[in-house]
Structure 1
Amino acid sequence: MTVNGSDDVLLVHGGTPLEGEIRVRGAKNLVPKAMVAALLGSEPSRLRNVPDIRDVRVVRGLLQLHGVTVRPGEEPGELVLDPSHVESANVADIDAHAGSSRIPILFCGPLLHRLGHAFIPGLGGCDIGGRPIDFHFEVLRQFGAKIEKRADGQYLEAPQRLRGTKIQLPYPSVGATEQVLLTAVLAEGVTELANAAVEPEIEDLICVLQKMGAIIAMDTDRTIRITGVDSLGGYTHAALPDRLEAASWASAALATEGNIYIRGAQQRSMMTFLNTYRKVGGAFEIDDEGIRFWHPGGQLKSIALETDVHPGFQTDWQQPLVVALTQATGLSIIHETVYESRLGFTSALNQMGAHIQLYRECLGGSDCRFGQRNFLHSAVVSGPTKLQGADLVIPDLRGGFSYLIAALAAQGTSRVHGIDLINRGYENFMEKLVELGAKVELPGKALA
């Protein structure tokens, strides 16, 4: 990976507990998708609790390219999206805006409904394992879309109205579930989606679509039924808070022996994380406005942990918590079942003094789809170990924040390269670090 210039390097002087209060806004895994949903409406939509992150800026740019007016609302963190004049966009402009994000694939259904065609360039995103987009295109074909592969991307057409269909997901993929929801709501007839993802962000997207006039039923067996309607209106919606960002800061409090109040964090969407946090030895206190997380002193406890789709332990919670587990007494066992390459970030932690061994076997209570495929998807963390500052190059969003936590917990100074990637999903993270008392600096610049 190329190391960027000084603007993308953060010096972290570790060893200081993080203490203070921060706020989390709307979820990165909901807000951009709710913005795309506005394309489906015949009236303006109003979205509140919007974080200032790169994924939001990417989608805002793509919507504007397609004729959607996007402007700030009356309160901070509010966007008004008016899709009255949706139009085709220039291929080169789409490519320029979309290159660093996977979200454009979700524009397909809405654009097919509004324009009869869509163009999707090559997609980016974090390199944490296979997230094939072929399944998205196969789903769209089942709805009746015609897809032509071209040198610069995929061109899609809907010669007539898309039709409802029956879809069985081989794995409860969040992205594939979103694709079906955003396409099925205006398709003719009923769509039945089996083995769907049921994450809180999916439920919140369904709430958005229902406010617009969609008919969507969720069964207890991961089946979602969507009855297509002829038209949708706008919505007014406050996005649910980002439980993944909240858990990242909670892990930072634990790893640095700190105390952080996270305003906006909600118990309901974090119950599985909270149980694990308590088992490790972390403390928390919940009130109506947020959750306080702290290290209560004494030794942290090692645990056995498997990631899973909701309501299991989320894969995005795993990487930040692993940093804290390097400070726990004994052997912690991690079995990653969602992304096959998500444990690659541990090599940098070992460079800092951690003892983490990766395995190809399933070191959990159940076999998973990676067990026979030669992926290093299980880990044994031996602790506690003292971490030392190092030169670190951020590999992906959650891994990057995990490196930041490790640098904050370590003795000495770390140089963290590629910090701009963290802006994809963590709003104002530099300002939050300063507010929590972290000793960080951009070379040649003052942060506070």
Structure 2
Amino acid sequence: MDSIVVTGNGPLQGDIPIAGAKNACLALMPATLLSEEPLTLTNAPRLSDIKTMNTLLASLGAEMAVLQDGLVITTASHGEINPVADYDIVRKMRASNLVLGPLLARLGHAVVSLPGGCAIGARPMDIHIEALEALGAEIELKDGYLHAKAPGGLKGAVHKMRFASVGATENMLMAASLAKGTTVIENAAREPEIVDLAQCLRKMGAQIDGEGTSRIEIQGVDRLHGATHPVVTDRIELGTYMLAPAICGGEVECLGGRLELVESFVEKLDAAGVSVEQTDRGLKVSRRNGRIRAVDVVTEPFPGFPTDLQAQMMALLCTAEGTSVLEEKIFENRFMHAPELTRMGANIEVHGGHATVHGVERLKGAPVMATDLRASVSLILAGLAAEGETVVNRVYHLDRGYEHVEAKLQAVGAKIERIKE
């Protein structure tokens, strides 16, 4: 099993290109099931999760072509579609559940295994089920599979989400695009990935209004056609690499970064003493004079502070001046990186959904273990500023969400390498 070795090496300097968004691409790819014509996605990230979705869609009958070193994905679903999403594929990745809505809309029936993914909380399917049942679907759980059917076809409806779930909003958005009549999603998720999906569906002929707000209206159409669409910049990868110069010092420009993708995150960086400047090429980040200041963080749905940047932010606050409190309100079990940071000399107390971080002068390198995707990269960030060598084990999680992480950090002066086993 691969590990990554990081040695604290001083300030960073240079450019880091930011990839297309994993979470956006994983929602865009199943949209190919809604049309017989090809869907081409550009600026696709080169990640293991994208390969898993490719495998899943191919198992359902979609034809896949990956071009230009993985940056362009073309899919077509003009043949016979298999309605069964098998456990052996779905168990590898949570986003596999996003084929449920498109399959129901296209075929009127589907059998989809309950999904897997990182162990950061239950993340149940009930909100997805409620959304699709509002459109007329009948869904039953049997032997670990969701058996869904819409005998009379999907029909538009007004549905209020009891939680602004990104995945459930995406599933309902795709299903409603081919439903009969008008659908209104209230308390819809507002994330940039939702906006990106809606824009792509609109290029395919869908009639959608209100994406980016808590109320989305969809007028169902009889068919969708092909389209070409660029995947939006990955705001989580962007935030992650913005933290590298904040932790180590120096100045890094994150190419392709846009302020509107990370506004709540930037507010906390500013309060902590980190400068962020929008340029023609992206976001330029540097630490102001002196030690990072403690700040409190509460994770919330967009436009609030992203849960997917909480672990990385904790790495920054480990050496801040003062005491910070991080409250995790999205997922339970998402402080599993805290004990590993403690092994590096951090002073962290975890009580339920709260983590109290008492800043220390300096972290020290140590062998640590990655527990999930974002925890993996938080330990790498901590290692960049630690004294001595940090060995991050079990980094297979990392490849699900970050492409070429060692090369990108090496390019700005970090001392980092992967040890293959």
Same fold by TM (over 0.5)? yes
1:422 positional shift:
0.8
Map Cα deviations across residues 179-205 of structure 1 (whole Å, 9 max, x no partner).
110111111111121111111111111
CA distance in 1 between partners of 2:120 and 2:69 (Å): 36
1:430 alignment partner in structure 2: 406
> Given the alignment, which residue of 114, 130, 139 partners 1:122?
114
CA distance in 2 between partners of 1:142 and 1:222 (Å): 17
Query: How do 1:251-400 and structure 2 match up within 5 A?
Result: 251-359=243-351, 376-400=352-376
Secondary structure class of the residue paired with 2:88: helix
Map Cα deviations across residues 28-63 of structure 1 (whole Å, 9 max, x no partner).
110111111121123111111101011211111111
1:77 alignment partner in structure 2: 71
2:15 alignment partner in structure 1: 21
Which deviates more from structure 2 when the two are superposed, residues 239-248 or residues 132-141? 132-141
CA distance in 1 between partners of 2:349 and 2:219 (Å): 49
Is contact 1:243-1:270 (8 Å) kept?
A: yes
Is contact 2:9-2:414 (8 Å) kept?
A: no
2:81 alignment partner in structure 1: 87
1:177 positional shift:
0.9
CA distance in 1 between partners of 2:153 and 2:144 (Å): 26
Is contact 1:147-1:154 (8 Å) kept?
A: yes
Do structure 1's residue 42 and structure 2's residue 39 form an aligned pair? no
Secondary structure class of the residue paired with 2:11: coil
Map Cα deviations across residues 119-171 of structure 1 (whole Å, 9 max, x no partner).
21231112222311122123222322233333252222232311122221111
Is contact 1:252-1:320 (8 Å) kept?
A: no
CA distance in 1 between partners of 2:157 and 2:420 (Å): 57
1:12 positional shift:
2.0
Question: Are the structure 2 counterparts of residues 18 and 219 from structure 1 closer, same or farther at C-alpha, using a change threshold of 3 Å?
Answer: closer
> Given the alignment, which residue of 89, 101, 113 partners 2:105?
113
Query: What amino acid maps onto 2:183 in structure 1?
Result: T
Give the share of equivalent positions with the same residue, in percent: 35
CA distance in 2 between partners of 1:40 and 1:273 (Å): 35
1:208 alignment partner in structure 2: 200
Question: Are the structure 2 counterparts of residues 423 and 284 from structure 1 closer, same or farther at C-alpha, using a change threshold of 3 Å?
Answer: same
1:75 positional shift:
8.3
Is contact 1:257-1:297 (8 Å) kept?
A: no
1:149 alignment partner in structure 2: 141
Which deviates more from structure 2 when the two are superposed, residues 163-172 or residues 202-211? 163-172
1:260 positional shift:
1.9
Map Cα deviations across residues 197-235 of structure 1 (whole Å, 9 max, x no partner).
111111111111111111112188611111111111112
Do structure 1's residue 410 and structure 2's residue 386 form an aligned pair? yes
Is contact 1:14-1:410 (8 Å) kept?
A: yes
CA distance in 2 between partners of 1:416 and 1:238 (Å): 33
CA distance in 1 between partners of 2:9 and 2:359 (Å): 17
Structure 2: unaligned runs, 5 residues or longer: none
Question: Are the structure 2 counterparts of residues 141 and 417 from structure 1 closer, same or farther at C-alpha, using a change threshold of 3 Å?
Answer: same
Query: What amino acid maps onto 2:370 in structure 1?
Result: I
Is contact 2:97-2:114 (8 Å) kept?
A: no
> Given the alignment, which residue of 131, 152, 155 partners 1:163?
155
Secondary structure class of the residue paired with 1:344: coil
CA distance in 1 between partners of 2:420 and 2:315 (Å): 29
> Given the alignment, which residue of 187, 193, 210 partners 1:195?
187
CA distance in 1 between partners of 2:251 and 2:396 (Å): 26
Query: What amino acid maps onto 1:418 in structure 2?
Result: R
Map Cα deviations across residues 371-413 of structure 1 (whole Å, 9 max, x no partner).
xxxxx11222211332111221111111111011112221122
Is contact 2:92-2:117 (8 Å) kept?
A: yes
CA distance in 2 between partners of 1:234 and 1:410 (Å): 50
Map Cα deviations across residues 295-331 of structure 1 (whole Å, 9 max, x no partner).
2331211112222111111111222111111121111
CA distance in 2 between partners of 1:326 and 1:220 (Å): 34
Question: Are the structure 2 counterparts of residues 74 and 304 from structure 1 closer, same or farther at C-alpha, using a change threshold of 3 Å?
Answer: closer
Is contact 1:88-1:115 (8 Å) kept?
A: no
Is contact 1:66-1:89 (8 Å) kept?
A: yes
Is contact 1:187-1:229 (8 Å) kept?
A: yes
Moved over 4 A (4+): 73-76
CA distance in 1 between partners of 2:415 and 2:211 (Å): 49
TM-score by length of structure 2 reads 0.94
Query: What amino acid maps onto 1:262 in structure 2?
Result: C
Query: Cα RMSD (Å) of the superposition?
Result: 2.0
Query: What amino acid maps onto 1:245 in structure 2?
Result: E
1:139 alignment partner in structure 2: 131
1:333 positional shift:
2.1
TM-score by length of structure 1 reads 0.89
2:60 alignment partner in structure 1: 66
CA distance in 2 between partners of 1:173 and 1:292 (Å): 31
Map Cα deviations across residues 395-445 of structure 1 (whole Å, 9 max, x no partner).
111111101111222112222111111111111112223223322333468
Secondary structure class of the residue paired with 1:303: coil
CA distance in 1 between partners of 2:420 and 2:124 (Å): 41
1:365 alignment partner in structure 2: none
Structure 1: unaligned runs, 5 residues or longer: 360-375
1:357 positional shift:
1.8
